[in-house]
Amino acid sequence: MPIDKSAPWGEELPLPDSTRETLPRFRDERALSKMLTASGPSEVRLTGGEFLILTGGQATKVSGPSRRYPCDALEIRGLDSETWTIGTVELRRRRRRLFGGFVVLSNLGVCRGERYSARAHPNDGKFEVVDALNSLSWRERLVLSHRFTSGADFSHPHIRQKQVTMYQSQAPLHVFVDGSYRGKRAVEIEIRPDFLWIQV
């Protein structure tokens, strides 16, 4: 079940190397999202990416105990194929962020070095929404993108931030899943708690 942010999370697994190596292995969230479906896999190993950083894992670890964590996933409906991610979805009015409004929906709160929310937790049964679809000038969008990268505060009267379990776009928008472009669609995104275990 989703956990309290103050509660212990994950468990140590002193597995032998041969057992660890039988798990499907992915270099980051983007690679995992290309293979994730409603039927699994139910447990994977990540060797890099934002989840590894958030949990304090070591990309170079080849021996010793591992840790595994229950993790929520985002189901994205409305694209040409079944799409899931443990990471981030961005919806943009125009394909380039600086030229139009956008909304970020993130389970991890960070994607490819950009931090969207300090409140996000991969297993709390919710995802973060940073809504900047309306009323921002080109200069304001440029400053906001820089603040995402630097981790600085980006509070603004025209930016709405909230935690939700479901989000539906009201019109077709350009869809990016973990930074990968997936076309222009109206989509519905829903959290799936405890969708899989991730070993690091």
Query: Bridge-partner residues for 161, per DSSP?
Result: 130
Q: Can you tell me the distance from the alpha carbon of 158 to that of 36, in angstroms, rounded to the nearest whole number?
A: 34
**Chain center to CA of 49:** 11
Rounded average pLDDT over 150-177: 85
Q: Can you tell me the distance from the alpha carbon of 95 to that of 185, in angstroms, rounded to the nearest whole number?
A: 12
Tell me the per-residue pLDDT of 16-71, one tens digit each, with 9 for 90 and over: 555 566 788 889 999 999 999 998 889 998 988 989 888 876 655 555 677 899 99
* Residue 199 clears pLDDT 60, i.e. is over it: yes
Percentage of the chain lying above the pLDDT 70 cut: 84
Percentage of the chain lying above the pLDDT 90 cut: 46
Question: CA nearest 10: which of 58, 73, 71?
Answer: 71
Domains and CATH numbers, the chain: 11-72 (no CATH), 83-192 (2.60.200.40)
Q: What is the pLDDT of residue 98?
A: 75
Task: Name the token pair of 130.
Answer: 């940073």
* Residue 3 clears pLDDT 50, i.e. is over it: no
